[in-house]
Amino acid sequence: MTFNSSNGVGCADHITIGRVNFLGMCVIYLAFEYHPRYPLILAANRDEYYDRPTAPAGKWEDEPEIYAGRDLISGGTWLGVTTSGRFAAVTNFRDPLAPTGSHSRGTLVADFLRSDQSPADYLEKVLEKADSFSGFNLFIGRIDANVRELFYLSSRGDGVTQLASGIYGLSNNLLDVPWPKVTNGKARFEKIVSGDNVDSERLFTLLSDEATAPEWELPHTGISPAR
């Protein structure tokens, strides 16, 4: 898996470190059971304040089975994997009128990575306390010798969804909502992961794209434009 402190790309059987310098919005492109060699391919940008203290991706000293970046304020993370094959990633949900949650969304990822609950059971527990978080979207799953599964939950959606094999795009709204960066990036991502070999540099280039959509294509979220 390939990560850095705010952005990451990865294939399910290897880990390297990379860097993306552009952060325009939260976005995740994910291929699940789509590639013949890699059951999971994921590329993600995390939109966060540059001055928020974070640790770069690596094994957590206190929990070495977890590989992730770390929010040094809340202790959570936005994207991570474990040595046992668990993985999770979160994005914010844009909703300026909603109250601010009392808990950090990064703990949703970290708590799953350290949990031994199934993804479905974990998300049912999250649903019970979803109102204590600001709006979020959450991918979680596990890949091991016996099971491959991927689940999605949005605090603004219709409950827990188990996802079939395929390619997905997620930003600061519901899964696969056709915001320009999601639609255009997902098409480019599909081309990259459709070959026999997946070039991680092309994924980093995708995440670094600073192109902006015309004003008339942009979603109306009540806050700064998401292109």
Q: What are 126-158's pLDDT values in tens digits?
A: 999 998 998 999 999 999 999 999 999 998 888
φ/ψ region of 11 (left if φ > 0, alpha if ψ in -120 to 50, else beta) reads beta
pLDDT at 221: 54
Look at residue 63 in the predicted model and tell me its pLDDT: 96
Residue 173: per-residue pLDDT = 87
* 126 vs 145: CA distance, rounded Å: 26
pLDDT at 125 over 70: yes
Q: What is the pLDDT of residue 93?
A: 86
pLDDT the model gives residue 157: 87
36-94 pLDDT tens trace? 999 999 999 887 666 788 898 999 999 999 999 999 998 999 999 999 999 999 998 87
Sketch out the chain's domains with CATH numbers: 2-208 (3.60.60)
Q: Does the pLDDT value for residue 23 go beyond 60? A: no
What's the pLDDT tens digit per position in 183-227? Answer: 999 999 999 999 888 999 999 999 988 777 666 555 555 555 544
pTM of the model: 0.84
Q: What is the pLDDT of residue 98?
A: 64
